[in-house]
Structure 1
């Protein structure tokens, strides 16, 4: 029998399993057996003391019948000595780390406390962005990534294989100025969103994706959290990181400080902050004609106009959000309800009961997006009109995505509008508006908003240019009359929220669907769509 010797993970091989290892437990989770999900094995990632940044981690498996015997010795962060184990080959699709060997515990495996372990707490092994972005085939195994968050999309929902959850796309930047796409799912998406709320400065957020994985999307490579083992660490890079276990992170922070300028910081903050279509003062004051509401119907279709008015009501009957295609934002319908009226033979269902169909893409949606669409009433001294606000405009003043509000209020009555939205009532704004082809045919027209601003200087400049001298006998009122919620026919067709390219004079088509027939009840009220969320353990 071979003698037990002290060694490192890099010394392990199919013929060398007589090594006594000193390791720290990095991650643990229960893993269902692929062939029998009722059987749960305990999986671990452990790390040794070796200074090398290659091969110092290994995956460990403890079969279900041995779990109770060992689990209290193997909590995350503990350091132990293990011996008398077996080494097996782990198939690539089951690997959490790249190493092809896996330690399996036996009935005679021994685990002892290691009180003098000299290795680090996490053993970060940050991978260079070039080694990720230059690959042509997706690699197995999980690894560590560090970067500054220089951009992020709003948190949204996804729908894949009948499962829904949260999604947060980010862009990471390394110290050499290279960018990497990163997508957070589920609890990790929520963790990042919560951090944004708590962190006062978004100009230098540092993210560490610990044991993340590689993924290709639309032919481009990026990283995401894995199904198991991944941890997400987030830091405000404006502050020193003093914890000794995060020394590598602070070193990265210091490299960023020397490489970046103040101008880059401001650009980063704008890419991370809520997207806004607010225009500049020049765009409102000089680039487009200022008109009164009573004159809007005389304007040529597609030509933008600027108005100043007070929001006096929100149309509750038309709802405030819808579920759209993740690709084009058009409102989706249940795939099982799609019917081809031109088909000569009975049509098979386009998808399962949990799948959604986009009539614009003519396909089952790979992802879903919660989209704001809101109709408001605005009043000036000459009259009142209806305006449609789309996703960017609403999100800019609400400060939260449609997904976040629908997740919070989705089960409310269909006519309920969240207070985060109704708080805009009685506020004065400058609006840049236009009439599209569809709305021009309506008895009660609705104008689309291209951009809006509550900037007091912009509003003052506009009002100064148009306020006439008031006759001595003219009455005045300092208050705006209260207008109660109204009931109007929906003023949108099967269209979409105008994109930047489509929000131009002469454009007659919008890219996201606002009012699909499937979203309306028999009495014309919008039916709130309930999205079930999976709980992340």
Structure 2
């Protein structure tokens, strides 16, 4: 049995409006955070037309502190954490609804001046205000659970996660890639160099030994 609830809060950490392939069809997705009047926060994710409604509503909000009411919201867990989302097409999303709760929110946060960050990434040089705006955006990697390298090795499913590590040293003796045989795609070992003179020009050919093909090969590529 599935239960729906009405959820209201101030929109924080608004992410980008993304197009995600779901069952072969593109669907709009928007991640953000809602905080209640006690400053408790919960991650949210809206899909489809509801994502577009919230995104456009936040862009048009003059005060930069939109209040969002999600009626018939679905409360569930995503990667072990509580998350609010829309219940297919049954939900209703309202921006700054004309109700007493909205006024209470605006009065509670009246002393705050920091607006909701709504920035698009750009390649050209950014001024101070744009840099500050981008820094206020949600760090999407923080949405993913932390995993150790050992947990990655023991994992049996494809998933996204965050791995924190410290670099102790950089090996500069070996490249980060290897050469593979173009025939079997397996790793090869360099065994020598052959120099030929063709039309008065010296042409150098590197010879590699392939354990799978059991022969010297010259057609290899970095992997």
TM normalised by structure 2 equals 0.51
Partner of 1:186: 48
Partner of 1:164: 26
In the alignment, which residue of structure 2 is the partner of 1:258?
Answer: 107
The verdict on how the C-alpha distance between 1:209 and 1:171 changes in structure 2, with shifts beyond 3 A counting, is same
Q: Secondary structure at the match of 2:119?
A: coil
Distance in 2 (CA, whole Å) between partners of 1:168 and 1:143 is 19
CA 1:259–1:200: 2 relative to 1, 3 Å: closer
Could you tell me how far 1:190 is from its partner in structure 2? 1.2
Q: 1:170 deviation in Å? A: 1.5
Aligned: 1:154 with 2:37: no
Q: In the TM superposition, what is the alpha-carbon distance from 1:164 to its structure 2 partner?
A: 2.8
SS of residue matched to 1:222: strand
> What's the offset of the Cα at 1:185?
0.2
Task: Identify which of structures 1 and 2 has the higher relative contact order when contacts are C-alpha pairs closer than 8 Å and 6+ apart.
Answer: 2
- Aligned match of 2:91: 230
> Deviation per CA, 1:397-428, whole angstroms, max 9, x where unpaired?
xxxxxxxxxxxxxxxxxxxxxxxxxxxxxxxx
Q: CA deviation at 1:182?
A: 1.3
Partners of 2:59 and 2:118 within 8 A in 1: no
Superposed CA deviations along residues 300-354 of structure 1, whole A, max 9, x for unmatched, are xxxxxxxxxxxxxxxxxxxxxxxxxx979xxxxxxxxxxxxxxxxxxxxxxxxxx
- Give the number of aligned pairs: 137
Kindly state the Cα deviation for residue 192 of structure 1 after the two structures are TM-superposed. 1.6
Match 2:58 to one of 182, 196, 205: 196
Change (3 A) 1:279 1:218: farther
Instruction: Note if contact 1:209-1:230 (Cα within 8 Å) is conserved in structure 2.
Output: yes
Contact 2:70 / 2:94 at 8 angstroms: preserved in 1?
A: yes
Instruction: Note if 1:273 corresponds to 2:134.
Output: no
Partner of 1:211 in structure 2?
A: 72
Q: In proportion to residue count, which structure has more strand?
A: 2
In the alignment, the residues of structure 2 paired with residue 159 and residue 215 of structure 1 have an alpha-carbon distance, to the nearest angstrom, of: 22
- Superposed displacement of residue 274, structure 1: 1.1
- 1:280-302 deviation digits (Å, cap 9, x = unpaired): 49x9xxxxxxxxxxxxxxxxxxx
Q: Secondary structure at the match of 1:213?
A: strand
Q: Which has the larger radius of gyration?
A: 1
CA shift digits 1:68-125 (9 cap, x unpaired): xxxxxxxxxxxxxxxxxxxxxxxx1xxxxxxxxxxxxxxxxxxxxxxxxxxxxxxxxx
1:265–1:276 CA distance, 2 compared to 1 (3 A): farther
What is the alpha-carbon distance in structure 2 between the residues aligned to residue 365 and residue 158 of structure 1?
A: 16
How big is the shift at 1:149? Answer: 0.9
Q: CA deviation at 1:213?
A: 0.3
Distance 2:106 2:39 in 1: 12
Unpaired runs of 5+ residues, structure 2, are 132-139, 143-156, 161-223
Change (3 A) 1:177 1:275: farther
